[in-house]
Amino acid sequence: MIKSAYKDNRGLTLVELLVGVTILAIIIVPLLHTFITGANTGIKSKNYGNATDAAQNLSEQIQALDVDTILQNSALVDSAAKFYNIDTGVLTTAAPGADSGRYYVRIPGYIYGGTSFDALVTLDASDPVNSPPVAVGNQMDALINMTEADASALVSFRAECGGMMENVNELTIELLTREITLNVSKIVDSTTDTYKITAVFTYSGIIECTAEDLTGTTYSFTHSEQSSASVSSIADSTDGSPVLSAFLFFDGYYRESMQTETVLINNPTGSDINFFIVNTDKGTMPVNYGALIWYKYQNFKADNTPVNSLVYTNLPAAKVTYRASKNELLRKTLSVTGYLVETKQLNRKYNVEVTLFKGGSGFSGDVIMDSNSTKLNY
């Protein structure tokens, strides 16, 4: 016997519906959590990437700049950058020329990749490696060789006075007094300058001469030896550093009767120039020998101290006085190293730290990115 198919038109029961909804929720909720987590992770990843790129960008900007230049103008890092005292929260000004220290630069609202950050940059030069001075090489821009000046002056001396002397060999360079003057002038072009440096060695003396007939007379002798060098296509430095280096080669005037030899540098050009005073005489220096190197018209800072130390010499430092003057009234005595090299403690190794906070946080709260690097500049 064939049964007829039974057709049930009843709907789902409440229990069945609840069971279905529960199963659906069990499936959908993790999926939604996954989607939300993925979206948040993507946003965080983008922000972290922006923060990483922002920190790297700031580090590279600092790497490309001279640190002493940054200390003079923090806006070179970013237009909104200001020096910051992290202890008091007060904006401050760095002191360019410090041997070492820790400087903070804050940049509010630093935008990179569409994300705003409050960036705190730390420039730390307190690393012990910065303690000993480092020698800095200088290009020999202007070379003036006056090592034969004494010999030339003696030839002239004997030629002029020899006719009045019974023994011309008694005319020696020790009978004369010598003065050295270095004059600097500048010719200004449209974009570059030409500097001319002239060295003048002036010999003078009053000689008691005795002729063959034993008659005596007094003779005044004056003679000059000079040489010059020119350096062209020089652009003034923007950071106030010396525009060029001039080297004078000469024989130190070792005389027992001479207390101090004067080297006068006249540089009214307005641009500082390094002068290397190179003694090539290897003879024994008398105990009473001394040298006064007077550099006139150096640039001075607001605190009435010279911007740069510009004199380097191999004459013994203990026997050299280096006097820098801004004008006839303002003079300062500086030290010399006794070496023919420029030494600096600045800009050698700076640890650079970039710390990023959320934009508008006032440099507080959770740190988004903290990046460290080292700037080497010898």
Rounded Cα gap, residues 195 and 273, in angstroms: 10
Range with the poorest average pLDDT among 41-45, 211-215, 251-255: 211-215
- Decide if 95 contacts 158 (C-beta within 8 A): no
Task: State both tokens at 71.
Answer: 């200390």
pLDDT for the residue 287: 74
Burial class, 356, CB count within 10 angstroms (exposed 0-12 / middle 13-18 / buried 19+): buried
Q: What is the pLDDT of residues 77-114, one digit of tens each?
A: 888 888 877 777 677 766 544 445 778 888 888 888 88
Average pLDDT of span 138-153: 90
Range with the poorest average pLDDT among 42-51, 78-87, 340-349: 340-349
289 against 309, higher pLDDT: 309
Task: State both tokens at 291.
Answer: 């040298």
Task: State both tokens at 237.
Answer: 């430095």
- Among residues 272, 274, 277, 273, which one has the least CA distance to residue 262? 277
Task: State both tokens at 140.
Answer: 């020999």
- Among residues 144, 71, 69, which one has the least CA distance to residue 101? 71
State what percent of residues in the chain have pLDDT above 90.
24
86 against 351, higher pLDDT: 351
* Statement: residue 365 has pLDDT above 90: no
| DSSP one-letter string for 11-44 | ---HHHHHHHHHHHHHHHHHHHHHHHHHHHHHHH
Between the ranges 185-194, 267-276, 277-286, where is the mean pLDDT highest?
A: 267-276
Between the ranges 110-119, 235-244, 347-356, where is the mean pLDDT highest?
A: 110-119
Range with the poorest average pLDDT among 5-9, 26-30, 331-335: 5-9
For residues 277, 283, 289, 294, the Cα torsion angle rounded to the nearest 10 degrees is -10
* Statement: residue 171 has pLDDT above 70: yes
**193 sits in which H/E element:** strand 193-210
| DSSP one-letter string for 51-101 | HHHHHHHHHHHHHTS-HHHHHH-GGGT-TT-EEEETTTTEE----TT-SS-
Work out the pLDDT band at 38, boundaries 50, 70, 90. low
* Statement: residue 331 has pLDDT above 60: yes
pLDDT for the residue 121: 87
Work out the pLDDT band at 181, boundaries 50, 70, 90. very high
Helices (H), 114-235: 149-161
Task: State both tokens at 187.
Answer: 């010719």
266 against 330, higher pLDDT: 266
